[in-house]
């Protein structure tokens, strides 16, 4: 994180397409102007966490910070929407750098696929039968057999998305951890997942792949009939996010963990 003040004169506004977000974009453009994405000092994204995910993918490795304002249905990663003093808010915002997961998948035909994921890499059963998976961390088998609907590896940025709905832990954005979370585990019954250092390589092998086919998904990229997946954080790739100092993300993380 870097709290040094920066100047953001040239703003590009993006909206999710909903009437609420588009109306907000029009008002903000009238007030602050608008430039092309290539000329922008900052991107202001108006919508929910889904739009933030798309925007982060689009601007990955371009060095342009993304500042989200909540004009959607879900906004855990979005700042409060306010139209006043936008440039001052941008100058005073906290700067957070996040890195994507890189998924490497091999399908039954031996074809290899690579795709980045900002939220999570998830493995999901394709048919009525549960998946059988073997999980290794840095080459050491940690779970010989997991019978489940699936499993996911979530980044801190993605820990409030699918990972949270699968009862995985919420991770602060600055945590050097990944969440490894099962989806509807059947055996072992008491295994509820693990926290893994973000420097680790997670390998997941599909057992009985012919009988129990599995797909792998990196955010929006899906590969079907896989036999093996590895996921590791790619520290050579990055995206920049801006948060208001009073965004209260730590408080929201605590609050979510005490909802019952």
Same domain, 137 and 160: yes
H or E stretch including 10? none
The region of weakest confidence among 33-47, 201-215, 243-257 is: 243-257
Residues 30-57 have a mean pLDDT of: 94
Would you say 163 is a known binding-site residue? yes
Q: What is the band of 40 on the pLDDT scale with cuts at 50, 70, 90?
A: very high
Q: Rounded to 5 degrees, what are φ and ψ at 208?
A: 55, 50
Q: Could you count the other beta carbons within 10 Å of the beta carbon of residue 222?
A: 15
Same domain, 147 and 31: no
Look at the chain and report how many structural domains it folds into. 2
H or E stretch including 251? helix 249-257
Same domain, 229 and 140: yes
Same domain, 222 and 198: yes
Same domain, 79 and 152: no
pLDDT of residue 34: 95
In a domain, 222, yes or no: yes
Would you say 200 is a known binding-site residue? no
Report, in angstroms and rounded to the nearest whole number, the Rg of the chain calculated over CA atoms: 20
Percent of the chain clearing pLDDT 90 (strictly above): 78
Given the structure tokens 């974009």, which residue do they identify?
Answer: 25
Same domain, 229 and 246: no
C-alpha distances in Å from residue 170, one per residue of 46, 194, 232: 24, 12, 19
Would you say 120 is a known binding-site residue? yes
Q: Residue 232: beta bridge partners?
A: 102, 201
Same domain, 183 and 224: yes
In a domain, 207, yes or no: yes
Would you say 108 is a known binding-site residue? no
In a domain, 6, yes or no: no
Same domain, 87 and 105: no
The region of weakest confidence among 89-93, 103-107, 170-174 is: 170-174
In a domain, 2, yes or no: no
Same domain, 78 and 202: no
How, if at all, do strands 66-70 and 239-243 pair?
parallel
pLDDT of residue 120: 96
Residues 34-55 have a mean pLDDT of: 94
H or E stretch including 88? helix 86-92
- Our measurement of the distance from residue 103's CA atom to the centroid of its chain's CA atoms, rounded to an integer in Å, reads 13
Same domain, 111 and 225: yes
In a domain, 15, yes or no: yes
* Annotated active-site residue in 3, 49, 85, 246: 49
Domain that holds residue 50: 11-98+238-257
Closest CA to 22 of 40, 48, 42, 47: 47
In a domain, 5, yes or no: no
Same domain, 192 and 107: yes
How, if at all, do strands 131-137 and 42-47 pair?
unpaired
CATH number for the domain that contains residue 169: 2.60.200.30
In a domain, 4, yes or no: no
Flag whether pLDDT at 29 surpasses 70: yes
Q: What is the band of 174 on the pLDDT scale with cuts at 50, 70, 90?
A: confident
Same domain, 81 and 166: no
Would you say 119 is a known binding-site residue? yes
Would you say 157 is a known binding-site residue? yes
Query: What DSSP character marks residue 38?
Result: G
Q: Could you report the per-residue pLDDT of 230-258, keeping only the tens digit for each?
A: 999 999 999 999 998 876 566 666 666 67
Is 49 a known active-site residue? yes
Closest CA to 199 of 220, 179, 177: 177
Q: Are 164 and 155 in contact (CB under 8 A)?
A: no
Flag whether pLDDT at 1 surpasses 60: no
Residues 142-159 have a mean pLDDT of: 95
H or E stretch including 255? helix 249-257
Q: Are 151 and 183 in contact (CB under 8 A)?
A: yes
In a domain, 1, yes or no: no
CATH number for the domain that contains residue 27: 3.40.50.10330
C-alpha distances in Å from residue 113, one per residue of 131, 133, 152, 219: 20, 19, 17, 14
Would you say 49 is a known binding-site residue? yes
pLDDT of residue 39: 94
């Amino acid at each position: 994180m870097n709290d040094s003040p920066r100047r953001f004169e040239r703003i590009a506004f993006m909206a999710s397409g909903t009437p609420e977000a588009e109306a907000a974009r029009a008002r903000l453009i009238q007030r602050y102007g608008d430039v092309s994405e290539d000329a922008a000092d900052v991107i202001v994204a108006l919508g929910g966490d889904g739009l933030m995910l798309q925007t982060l993918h689009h601007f990955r490795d371009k060095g342009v910070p993304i500042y989200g304002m909540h004009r959607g249905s879900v906004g855990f990663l979005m700042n409060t929407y306010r139209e006043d003093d936008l440039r001052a808010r941008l100058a005073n915002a906290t700067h957070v750098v996040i890195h994507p997961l890189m998924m490497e998948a091999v399908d039954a035909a031996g074809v290899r696929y690579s795709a980045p994921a900002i939220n999570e890499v998830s493995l999901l059963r394709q048919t009525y039968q549960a998946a059988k998976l073997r999980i290794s961390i840095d080459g050491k088998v940690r779970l010989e057999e997991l019978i489940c609907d699936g499993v996911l590896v979530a980044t801190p940025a993605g820990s409030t998305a699918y990972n949270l709905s699968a009862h995985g832990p919420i991770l602060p954005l600055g945590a050097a951890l990944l969440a490894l979370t099962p989806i509807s585990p059947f055996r072992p019954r008491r295994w509820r997942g693990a926290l893994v250092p973000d420097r680790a390589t997670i390998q997941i092998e599909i057992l009985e792949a012919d009988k129990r086919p599995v797909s792998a998904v990196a955010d929006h990229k899906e590969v079907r009939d896989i036999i093996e997946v590895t996921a590791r954080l790619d520290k050579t790739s990055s995206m920049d996010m801006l948060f208001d100092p009073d965004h209260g993300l730590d408080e929201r993380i605590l609050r979510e963990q005490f909802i019952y």
